[in-house]
Amino acid sequence: MKRCKTPADLKKWSTGLDRQRKKTKTRILVCSGPGCLARGSRKIAGAFQKELAARKLDSKVVHKLTETGCHGLCQQGPLVTIMPEHIFYVQVKPKDVPEIIQQTIMKGQVIERLLHTDPGKKEKFQDYRKIPFYARQVRVALRNVGLIDPNDIEEYIAVGGYQALAKVLTGMKPEKVIDMVARSGLRGKGGGGFPTAKKWKSGRDAPGEQTYIICNGDEGDPGAFMDRAIMEGDPHSVIEGMIIGAYAVGSSQGYVYVRQEYPLAVKNMQQAINDARKAGFLGDRIFGTPFCFDIRVSRGGGAFVCGESSALMRSVEGNVGEPRAKYVHSVKRGLFDQPTILNNVETWNNVPYIVSEGPERLASMGTKKSKGTKAFCLVGKVRNTGLIEIPMGTTLREIIYEIGDGIIRDRPFKGVQTGGPSGGVVPNSLLDLPVDFEALTRAGSMMGSGGMIVMDDRTCMVDVAKYFLHFLMEESCGKCVPCREGLKQLHNIVDGITRGNAGNGDLEKIENLSRSIMEGSLCALGKSAPNPVLSTLQYFRPEYETHIEKKKCPAGVCKALITYLINDKCTGCTLCVKACAFDAIVGKKKKMHKILEDKCTRCGACFAVCKFDAIEID
Amino acid sequence: MVTLKIDGKIIQAREGTMVLEAARQMNINIPAICHHEAVEPWGGCRLCLVEITHDDWGGWSGLVTSCLYPVEEGLIVTTASPKVIETRKTIIDLLLARYPGSPRIQELAREYGIEKTSYVPDVGRDNCILCGLCVRLCAGMGMAAISTAGRGAAKEISTPLQEAPEDCIGCGVCHKNCPTMNIPMQDKNGVRTIWNRKFELIRCSACGKAHITREHAEYLCEHQDLPPEYFETCDQCKRLENADRFAAIVKW
């Protein structure tokens, strides 16, 4: 590997790569994000390799095969993209590979069968940038994710990587860098939305022997995988952002905190750090300047609470990951009691973009107070699930109905859960809510790190609240009493409601206990833990009341409160009889069936298989 | 010195003093079950919550743990505002549900007029209130042989991998300071048993009392520059010996 001692070395390296890239006729991008990997994308990459070798096309110059990070449309994986035409094949199987090479790569013909059909609009797209899922997105954080090989530093350099760093180190004073970040309007993307430049400035001004930089990669919200996608798919952008940040605040040691449950993120980050060190972007006298900085990967055990900054710092120190009160801010006294600047993966990743594109570019996107973009994971009952990035201020309607292509089976939209366990549910009445830090907080939810769980009318909001309370109850560190004991009791009450054991005044009890948990808890996990139950109570109170007073679950979810019935639409096809694992359905062929209530476990298997809408939930 | 107001009284306190300490000096009773003067404040029990505000804060006020919040110029503290009492009562109510049999919690509940918990009580648990004192004192001794383990309601005080802790010196600081006497320790036939480990106790050469574990003695000799024979006699005999020596000098 080349070593850059000066910015000129980097320039030469990237020009050389440019020249080489011009010789490349086609680039085959095989998505190797977690979704596609699970659907067998490694086998597809292997098939391409074998097939290219068999045809003697594997020079790696003319036809280049690249395994990339997550491309986004996880729902349709495994995904293969042919560049430079942006031809986009979905649900590719290894047996499709010879045909792709024969038709598309050799002859330039598009294989209709493998193109993406918009499920709602029934339209086929050749260029993925035209698919509404992609067309509505603006990719800043995900600018390289899904397009480059994360394990090849040269791919990052070829797209202009580390040039922002060169520019900063050789021509900008640290104060100027902070000023630039301030002008971009960048705010913490981990959920808090604290102005990044303000944090950096406090850290820079704080007295201490050593200032530390931390990248928080402990993404733990159920349904969220943005930071994972960035760390796996474009690790160098995070590293470059951290080096620039370190220079701005005067730090010489950084940590990337990644959870052990993200093995690929750990591996790719570690390799990127090693490569950056070999290339001279980390270590002593970077680009020949007096600036020295290095990064270590610190692996977390997968505790949700370790995403909280003070608990994360204790964990990096090797102590039990328990938060501590932040009456003295961690920018002044954080890791090892030294000034510490902690930012989220996506925040660090935005920094090189700000430097190379200029702060005005980011500042021109978004709303008045929330600038730039935000990556989200669109999941749940929506047609297109996957990784997306939108300018701040995009409405929920645009996200769910245009990017997401609407609700599966066109069922009614009920609400969307944002902000993870600390967030809340935004109801369908707020579908035109522009997504930014302030609007979501006003709606009783929060931006959070970027999970977005879409729910239809078959989702029970009491059950949703119970799910998140159970998650938080188990993930509470247990240090402080209101969070440890309070969440357990709050879960008890909500669980009782879903089981038909609710008592009078339970809703008031929930509200009172929630208030004390929010007032009394030590850290943000506890302080925000009642949010899922409070926001669902705010918008779906009648649903709670139906559970309590009528002992019914209108969405048909809470097992203790529902019964399955067979109506006269039954044709006696016996499908449900076969699906029932508990012999709870009786009936002769072509005769109407019956469910034996005492044997029925309310698993819903019959409901799922019936093709005639003959099974009802009461 | 900084000047602040606690419950309407203007007082002066040394910079760096925590609000809890300042209030207790004024004989204001603020409950706390995880606080101990010997170790750094922790903020776990949340009982010592007080409401603070300041003339410069534009009307903002909020709850903070007084054991951790340092005094500052112009700070206005209310130790029993309605919000403080409401939150504190809920916490005590929750503690009573978790430790229905603990005399200490029962006493606290009575003080705040709670006769019966309004939540589902836990039964069959031990009396550990997870105040973390043992862990912090052990770390303060320089050992850190025990730690909190697990999360949420399943959190407990434990040794590494639940085995006899290698780093333990048998000093007994955890046992002696446990507010609910939940850490058993036994001295019998010159052997101390604690945390599933057995320690040999050194017998005093003068009175024969088994007074300190060998590991503890060695640790103190090494870290406090004491002569190796220092613990051959127990503290009481050393004092007698000193008294005899003084008596010989003054010759009365």
Give per-residue pLDDT as tens, A200-248: 999 999 999 999 999 999 998 888 999 999 999 999 999 999 999 999 9
Residue B6 lies in a domain: yes
pLDDT of residue B201: 96
The fraction of chain A above a pLDDT of 70, given in percent, is: 99
pLDDT of residue A222: 86
B151 touching chain A per CB within 8 A: yes
Confidence of residue A144 (pLDDT cuts 50, 70, 90): very high
Question: Do B230 and B149 share a structural domain?
Answer: yes
When pLDDT is averaged across residues A121-132 and rounded to a whole number, the result is 87
pLDDT of residue A120: 63
Question: Do B219 and B143 share a structural domain?
Answer: yes
Question: Do B165 and B69 share a structural domain?
Answer: no
Based on the structure, what is the number of domains in chain B? 2
Question: Do B67 and B148 share a structural domain?
Answer: no
Q: Number of helices and strands (H, E) in chain A?
A: 25, 19
Nearest C-alpha in B relative to A477: B151
Closest CA to B168 of B137, B191, B146, B190: B146
Which two three-digit tokens encode residue A446? 């929060």
Whole-model pTM above 0.80?
yes
Question: Do A345 and A455 share a structural domain?
Answer: no
When pLDDT is averaged across residues B85-93 and rounded to a whole number, the result is 96
Residue B151 lies in a domain: yes
Partner-chain contact B94 A485, CB within 8 Å: yes
Question: Do A281 and A210 share a structural domain?
Answer: yes
pLDDT in tens, A284-311: 999 999 999 999 999 998 899 999 999 9
Last residue of a domain, one of A550, A582, A605: A550
Question: Do A437 and A570 share a structural domain?
Answer: no
Last residue of a domain, one of B60, B80, B100: B80
Question: Per-residue pLDDT for A118 more than 80?
Answer: no
Question: Do B178 and B76 share a structural domain?
Answer: no
Question: Do A476 and A393 share a structural domain?
Answer: no
Question: Do A205 and A308 share a structural domain?
Answer: yes
The fraction of chain A above a pLDDT of 90, given in percent, is: 84
The fraction of chain B above a pLDDT of 90, given in percent, is: 85
Last residue of a domain, one of B62, B80, B98: B80
Question: Do B235 and B141 share a structural domain?
Answer: yes
Question: Do B227 and B144 share a structural domain?
Answer: yes
Nearest C-alpha in A relative to B156: A478
When pLDDT is averaged across residues B18-25 and rounded to a whole number, the result is 95
Phi and psi for B135 in degrees, rounded to 5?
A: -65, -45
CB-CB: which of B65, B70, B98 is closest to A485?
B98
Question: Per-residue pLDDT for A178 more than 80?
Answer: yes
Question: Do A311 and A258 share a structural domain?
Answer: yes
Last residue of a domain, one of A522, A550, A578: A550
Residue B145 lies in a domain: yes
Question: Do A540 and A476 share a structural domain?
Answer: yes
Residue A110 lies in a domain: yes
Nearest C-alpha in B relative to A526: B152
Phi and psi for B248 in degrees, rounded to 5?
A: -65, -35
Question: Do B240 and B138 share a structural domain?
Answer: yes
B117 touching chain A per CB within 8 A: no
Strand partners for A297: A256
Question: Per-residue pLDDT for A373 more than 80?
Answer: yes
Distance from CA of B193 to the nearest CA of A (A): 26
Partner-chain contact A327 B70, CB within 8 Å: yes
Nearest C-alpha in B relative to A469: B152
pLDDT of residue B252: 64
Question: Do B237 and B163 share a structural domain?
Answer: yes
A59: Cβ contacts below 8 Å, ≥ 6 apart: none
Beta carbons of A290 and A283 less than 8 angstroms apart: no
Residue B101 lies in a domain: no
B28 touching chain A per CB within 8 A: no
Distance from CA of A485 to the nearest CA of B (A): 6
Question: Do B143 and B236 share a structural domain?
Answer: yes
Which domain CATH number covers A46?
A: 3.40.30.10
Confidence of residue A328 (pLDDT cuts 50, 70, 90): confident
Question: Do A259 and A209 share a structural domain?
Answer: yes
Residue A248 lies in a domain: yes
As a whole number, the mean pLDDT across chain A is 93
Question: Do B237 and B143 share a structural domain?
Answer: yes
Distance from CA of A475 to the nearest CA of B (A): 6
The whole-angstrom separation of Cα A577 and Cα A582 is: 9
Question: Do A519 and A469 share a structural domain?
Answer: yes
Based on the structure, what is the number of domains in chain A? 5
Confidence of residue A439 (pLDDT cuts 50, 70, 90): very high
pLDDT of residue A208: 92
Q: Is A333 left (phi over 0), alpha (psi -120 to 50) or beta?
A: beta
Q: Which residues of B105-126 are buried (b: 16+ CB within 10 A; e: fewer)?
A: bbebbeeeebeebebeebeeee
Residue B109 lies in a domain: no
Which domain CATH number covers A598?
A: 3.30.70.20
Residue B85 lies in a domain: no
Beta carbons of A137 and A376 less than 8 angstroms apart: no
Q: Which residues of B touch A305 (CB under 8 A)?
A: 151
Which domain CATH number covers B54?
A: 3.10.20.740
Which of the pair, A60 or B71, is modelled with greater confidence? B71
Distance from CA of B94 to the nearest CA of A (A): 6
Partner-chain contact B97 A480, CB within 8 Å: no
In which domain, by residue range, is A160 found?
153-363
CB-CB: which of B68, B97, B153 is closest to A478?
B153
Partner-chain contact B152 A303, CB within 8 Å: no
Partner-chain contact B87 A519, CB within 8 Å: yes
**Interface mutation target, options A468, A481, A509, chain B, most CBs of B under 10 Å:** A481
Residue A73 lies in a domain: yes
pLDDT of residue A334: 94
When pLDDT is averaged across residues A240-261 and rounded to a whole number, the result is 96
Residue A159 lies in a domain: yes
ipTM of the complex: 0.90
Partner-chain contact B94 A474, CB within 8 Å: no
Question: Do B237 and B147 share a structural domain?
Answer: yes
Confidence of residue A121 (pLDDT cuts 50, 70, 90): low
Which domain CATH number covers A159?
A: 3.40.50.11540
pLDDT in tens, A496-522: 999 999 988 999 999 999 999 999 999
Which domain CATH number covers A518?
A: 1.20.1440.230
pLDDT in tens, B138-191: 999 999 999 999 998 889 999 999 999 999 999 999 999 998 889 999 999 999
Instruction: State whether the Cα torsion A276-A282-A284-A285 is positive or negative.
Output: positive
Q: How far is CA A576 from CA A154, A567, A600, A608, in A?
A: 56, 13, 12, 9
Q: How far is CA A524 from CA A109, A184, A380, A527, in A?
A: 55, 27, 26, 5
Question: Do A240 and A166 share a structural domain?
Answer: yes
Q: How far is CA B166 from CA B119, B162, B169, in A?
A: 40, 11, 8
Last residue of a domain, one of A430, A459, A488: A459
Question: Do A383 and A303 share a structural domain?
Answer: no
**Interface mutation target, options B77, B85, B91, B112, chain A, most CBs of A under 10 Å:** B91
Distance from CA of A512 to the nearest CA of B (A): 9
Question: Do A123 and A51 share a structural domain?
Answer: yes
pLDDT in tens, A145-171: 999 999 999 999 999 999 999 999 999
Beta carbons of B39 and B133 less than 8 angstroms apart: yes
pLDDT of residue A449: 81
Beta carbons of A272 and A153 less than 8 angstroms apart: yes
The whole-angstrom separation of Cα A16 and Cα B43 is: 58
B85 touching chain A per CB within 8 A: no
3 state DSSP class of A298: strand
Confidence of residue A314 (pLDDT cuts 50, 70, 90): very high
Residue A1 lies in a domain: no
In which domain, by residue range, is B75 found?
2-80
Residue A99 lies in a domain: yes
Residue B127 lies in a domain: no
